[in-house]
A and B are shown apart, each in its own frame.
Chain A
Amino acid sequence: MGWLGDNGMLLGLAMLDGLSYAAAVFMVAVGLNLVFGVMHVLNVAHGSLYAIGGYAAASLSLFLIARGMPPWLSIPSLVVSSAIVGAILGPPIERLLRSVSGQEEVLQLLVTFALFMILEDLQKLVWGVQPVVSDAPVKLLGTIDVPFGRDAIPFTSYQLFLLPGVALVTLIGLAWFLRRTLAGRMIVAVTVDREAARAMGINAGKVMLLTFTAGAALAALGGALASPTTSLVPGIGASTIVLSFAVVATAGLGQIEGAALTALMIGLGRSLAVYFAPEFEVVVPYFIMVSVLLVRPQGLFAVPETRRI
C-alpha cells in the first residue's frame, strides 16, 4: 500500500476536523468581509464584537441554566445574544465610522483600532479576566463515534453538525439575501458604486447602517458559536481579528463566497498540517494568503478595478 493507503483514514479524520474549523473561521470572517464591501473600512473592532458576542452568549446560557430553564434553550440563545449584541453595538459604531468616512484610510483604521481597545477594556470591566465558558450546547448534543479501523473516534455533534450547519445556512442565506431581495440588491449596489447608488435614489446611509449592524451581529455570532467549546479570555478578539484579515485578504475584500472557500482552504490546510507537518500548523493560513496574493493581489474572487481619478 502506498502513502495514501497508509494514511487514508487519517486523511478522512483531517477532513472532518478541517470542515468544522473552516465553519468557525468563516463565521468570524464573513461579517468583516460584508462590512468592508459596503463601507470600505477594515474594522479592527470586529475582533471585539466577536469576543463580546462570545461572552454575551455564555452569560445568557449560564443565566438560563441557573434559572432552571431547559438546557436546549442554550442553543437558540447563541443566536439571540448575537442579535442583541449587533443591535446594541452596531448602530453607534457605524455612526462613529461614518463620521470619519471620506478621511484617509489610515485614520479610519486607527479609529477602529481605538474602538477595539475601548471595547476590550469594556469587556474586562463586565466579565473580568478569568476564563468564561458555557458548554451546555456541546454537552446537550453529545458525541458521535466515527469508525477508524477497528477503533472509533468520538467527535462532538456540535463540531460535526451544528457548526458547519450554521455556516452553510449563513452562506446560503446571505447569498440569497444579497441577490434575491431588494434590500440585498441595494447593498450590492452601494458596494459596487456608492455615488451611482445614491444617484439612483438609494439611501446609502441606511444601507450602511443595516449592513454594519448585520456584520456586527455576524461577528458576535462567530464568538457565540465558539463560546461552548472555547474558554473566553481577554485577548481572544485580537487573535481572531488577525485570522479574519487573512481570510478576507485571501478571498478578496467584499466576497462572501470567496470567504467561504478561503475558510475551507485554511481549515483543511491547518488540519492536514496538524496530522502530517505540525510545525507548519501556525503558518498555514498566512502561507495560503501569501501564495494567493502573489498570484492574485486583489484576492481570489475580487475583480480588478480601474482606479477613478
Chain B
Amino acid sequence: MEERIKKVLSAVFEIPADSVNDQSSPDTIQQWDSIKHMQMVIALEEEFGFQFTDEEIIELLNYSLIREIISSKI
C-alpha cells in the first residue's frame, strides 16, 4: 500500500518516490497547492477504487495521515 501511495504522490508532485516520508506535506513540498491537492485526491481514489469523504479530503494533510486514512478504508 505504501508503495502505491508513494507512486501516486511522486507522479502528482513530480518528485522521486523515495523522497516521500512521514513529514511530506504542503510545508515540505512546494508544488502541493490546492489544485495539486485535488489532483492527488482524484489519483488516490482511482488507485484504490474508493472515494474519500469531504472530511477525509481535508484531513489528507501529510503522508502519514494519508497512509492512516487509506489503511482505515481498505
- The yes or no verdict on A and B being binding partners is no
